[in-house]
Amino acid sequence: MALNKLAIASVSLSLYAGHLLDEKIRTAAQHGYSGIEIVYSDLETYSKSQNIPIHTAAQKINQICNKNNITALSLAPFENFEGANSPWKRDSNSQSTGSKSPGSSKHRTSKSPRSSQTTAAVTQQ
Choose among 2, 124, 19: nearest CA to 63: 124
Say which DSSP state 35 is in.
Answer: E
CA pair distance 52, 15, nearest whole angstrom: 21
**Residue 68 identity:** N
CA pair distance 94, 57, nearest whole angstrom: 32
3-state secondary structure of 4: coil
pLDDT for 91 equals 58
**Residue 3 identity:** L
Determine if residue 61 is left, alpha or beta; phi over 0 gives left, psi from -120 to 50 gives alpha, anything else beta.
Answer: alpha
Pairing between β-strand 7-9 and β-strand 71-75 as defined by DSSP bridges: unpaired
Which sequence spans correspond to the domains of the chain?
7-102+111-123
> Confidence band (pLDDT; 50, 70, 90) for 28?
very high
Say which DSSP state 31 is in.
Answer: T
**Residue 110 identity:** S
Which position has the higher pLDDT, 103 or 84?
84
Contact 57, 100 (CB under 8 A): no
Q: 3-24, pLDDT tens digit by residue?
A: 888 999 998 898 777 789 999 9
